Amino acid sequence: MNYDLIVIGSGPGGYVAAIRASQLGMKVAVVERESLGGICLNWGCIPTKALLKSAQVFSYIQHAEDYGIKVGSAKVDFGGMVSRSRGVADGMSKGINFLFRKNKIDVLTGHGRLKPGKKVSVEAADGKIAEYIAKHIIVATGGRAKQLPSLPIDNKKIIGYRKAMSLEKQPKKMVVVGAGAIGVEFAYFYNAIGTEVTIVEFMQQGLVPREDSDISKELTKIYKKAGIKVMANSSVESVQTKGRGCKVEVKNRKTGAVENIDCDVVLSAAGVSANTEDVGLEAVGVKKDQRGLIEVDDYYKTNVEGIYAIGDVIAGPALAHVASAEGITCVEKIAGHHPEPIDYNNIPGCTYCIPEIASVGYTEAAAKEAGFDIKVGKFPFSASGKASAAGAKQGFVKVIFDAKYGEWLGAHMIGYNVTEMIAEVVAARKLETTGHEIIKTVHPHPTMSEAVMEAAAAAYGEVIHL
Strand pairing partners for 148? 151
Catalytic residue, chosen from 63, 337, 445, 465, is: 445
What is the enclosing helix (H) or strand (E) of 443? none
The question of whether 436 is a catalytic residue gets the answer no
Sequential DSSP letters for 141-197: --EEEPPBTTB---SSSEE-HHHHTS-SS--SEEEEE--SHHHHHHHHHHHHTT-EE
In angstroms, the CA 151 to CA 395 distance is 33
User: How many residues comprise the chain?
Assistant: 466
Q: Please compute Rg for the chain using Cα positions.
A: 23
In angstroms, the CA 280 to CA 263 distance is 41
Cβ 165 vs Cβ 85: under 8 Å: yes
Q: Which of 390, 397, 376, 406 is nearest to 443 (CA)?
A: 397
Cβ 407 vs Cβ 427: under 8 Å: no
3-state secondary structure of 125: coil
Whether the ω angle into residue 209 lies within 30 degrees of 0, i.e. cis, is no
In angstroms, the CA 356 to CA 222 distance is 12
Point out the residues that are catalytic.
445
